[in-house]
């Protein structure tokens, strides 16, 4: 009798686990689609924009930190996706790209944000122990690292926004920003795979 009840319970557990991790799997697919879209918005970098190239200096804490946990990386990637969505939602494009590409990247970034939120919520439910650790940041240095990382990312994207504004949202400025955001997404996608 117990064996008959145990089999469906195990099967249900496996199905629920697969369904719960679906959002994180979809996140990878949506991020990959956004990367492809950012690449296909322009076949090659315009030669006339090479002289205007700018180094935005991605925060060193992210590039070289060994303390970042996978959750910290996802939270940082959420912040990056949110800031990228805000930049691409500005209506200051002077017909830099076709409207269909712009709309597709806005929709793709919105979906990426949704999946990241769901993925982070999933992890939070799975790791109830972490709540106790987050309440006492002195016991959990990762919480402080995460806050510093988000602050640095906001500064990084502020530099990008300021660059756009200083360049009066020119075609070249948008191209440089597109390449920078794509580079940032590539880096975080690789970082997520490593952890």
Out of 53-62, 68-77, 95-104, 140-149, pick the least confident: 140-149
| Tokens of residue 137, six digits | 């940041």
Q: Which residue has the higher pLDDT, 158 or 148?
A: 158
Residue-range domain boundaries for the chain: 22-194
* Contact by Cβ (8 Å): 74, 31: no
pLDDT value for 137:
47
Cβ atoms 170, 94 nearer than 8 A: yes
Q: Which position has the higher pLDDT, 92 or 136?
A: 92
Residue 134 CA to residue 32 CA, distance in Å, equals 31
DSSP states of 55-107: -----HHHHH-SS--HHHHHHHHHHHHHHHHHHHT-S---S-S-HHHHHHHHH
CA distance readout (Å), 91 to 61, 96, 102? 32, 11, 10
As a whole number, mean pLDDT of residues 9-19 equals 38
Architecture of domain 22-194: Up-down Bundle (1.20)
Determine what percent of the chain is predicted with pLDDT higher than 90.
18
Q: Which residue has the higher pLDDT, 33 or 19?
A: 33
Q: Give the residue-averaged pLDDT of 65-80.
A: 79
**pLDDT tens digits, 130-149:** 555 555 444 444 455 467 67
Least confident of 24-28, 145-149, 190-194: 145-149
0.85 exceeded by pTM:
no
Average pLDDT over residues 30-57: 83
Q: What is the pLDDT of residues 93-118, one digit of tens each?
A: 655 677 778 888 899 999 999 999 99
């Amino acid at each position: 009798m117990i064996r008959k009840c145990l089999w469906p319970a195990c099967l249900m557990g496996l199905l629920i686990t697969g369904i719960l991790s679906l959002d994180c799997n979809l996140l990878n697919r949506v991020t990959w689609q956004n990367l492809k879209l950012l690449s296909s918005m322009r076949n090659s970098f315009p030669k006339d924009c090479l002289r205007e190239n700018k180094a935005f200096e991605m925060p060193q804490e992210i590039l070289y930190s060994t303390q970042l946990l996978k959750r910290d990386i996802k939270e940082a990637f959420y912040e990056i996706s949110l800031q990228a969505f805000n930049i691409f939602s500005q209506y200051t494009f002077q017909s830099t790209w076709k409207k269909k590409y712009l709309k597709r990247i806005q929709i793709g970034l919105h979906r990426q944000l949704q999946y990241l939120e769901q993925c982070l919520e999933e992890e939070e439910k799975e790791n109830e122990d972490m709540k106790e650790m987050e309440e006492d940041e002195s016991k959990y240095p990762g919480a402080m690292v995460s806050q510093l990382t988000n602050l640095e990312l906001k500064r990084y994207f502020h530099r990008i926004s300021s660059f756009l504004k200083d360049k009066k949202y020119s075609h070249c400025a948008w191209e440089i920003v597109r390449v920078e955001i794509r580079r940032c997404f590539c880096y975080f996608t690789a970082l997520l795979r490593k952890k």
